[in-house]
Amino acid sequence: MNVQWWCSARGLPWRWQWTPYPGVWIAVLALGAAYARWSKPLDSGTSANGVSAARRIGGWIAVLLVWLTLDWPGGPLGTGYLASVHGAQFLSLAMIGPPLLLRGIDPDRVRALLDRSPGTARIVGFATKPLFAMIAFTIVMLATHAPGAVDVLMRSQLGAFALDIAWFISGLAFWWPVVLDAPVREHFGPPMRMLYLFAGTQAHLYLAMWLLLADLPVYGIYELAPRVTSLSALEDQQVAGGLLLTIGGTYVLAVISVVFFRWFADPQTDG
């Protein structure tokens, strides 16, 4: 059995033969352990907030989603064969997983950490500063979808790992100010959050349109991969663009709508 620690494009014909990726398991176990710790109420005896069962389950769904995204068969298919699966991986790791995870974290625990560790508070405060997080997320999204970057990074396990981690970390930073109010940002209420989500995902829409409307396959790695489905490389790329546009766009619009209607119903709310 051929063991790789992380998925990478190998140029071999696709086989429906299970392949272990120990690096993925370790990463998902670490994520699950961290989430289990951070989703527990800070002090079950006194904590008034904690997180609802629905939010906690949402966080575990995110962990499951990350696992399914990175492990066999989704991981290798997206890394070396199908741009459409690669697009779904981006949605999962950068757009859907991070906010679900962050919503499942006990905010009291985060506040307590930031209070007792000024260094951590500075780093988290800076990394999740809306302007910085938005620019960083956009840059990561555009850079990691550039054909040159994809074709080079995906060929090595380290490159593919870096790309996955970049999506996830930049996604966490991007969604943090929308989901968590620690550190407190007085001037980042619901209207600003809606604007932030809209502005921060514009590049995503242009990227989706570019994939959807390109005349030729833009990624060599998928164009030259042995076909897995009856879709041509160009059609597969169009599916990727369509996924980013429809699912990604609809998802962001839905989140903006939720923020809006909560704010509309009660202007004092946090969104």
Partner 1 sequence: MAGALLALPGCGVDAEGGGRSYRGTTLAHALPRPSFTLTDTHGQPFDFRSRTDHTVTLLFFGYLNCPDVCPVHLTNIAAVMQKLPYDVTRTLRVVFVTTDPGRDTPEKLQSWLANFDSSFVGLRGTPEQVRAIEKSLELPPAVADAPDSAGDYQIGHAAQVIAFAPDDSAHVVYPFGTRQADWLHDLPLLAQVK
Nearer to partner 1 by C-beta: 100 or 233? 233
Q: What angle do CA 109, 168, 140 make, to 5 degrees?
A: 125
SS (H, E, C) 168-217: HHHHHHHHHHHHCCCCCCCCCCHHHHHHHHHHHCHHHHHHHHHHHHCCCC
Nearest CA among 70, 63, 77, 101 for reference residue 16? 77
| Rounded least distance, CB 232 to partner 1, Å | 6
| Rounded least distance, CB 203 to partner 1, Å | 24
**Given the rule CB under 8 A, which residues bind partner 1?**
11-13, 215-217, 220, 223-227, 232-234
| Rounded least distance, CB 84 to partner 1, Å | 17
Nearer to partner 1 by C-beta: 128 or 238? 238
| Rounded least distance, CB 216 to partner 1, Å | 5
Nearer to partner 1 by C-beta: 93 or 153? 153
Nearer to partner 1 by C-beta: 181 or 223? 223
Query: Residue with structure tokens 């014909």?
Result: 13
| Rounded least distance, CB 224 to partner 1, Å | 6
Nearer to partner 1 by C-beta: 40 or 227? 227
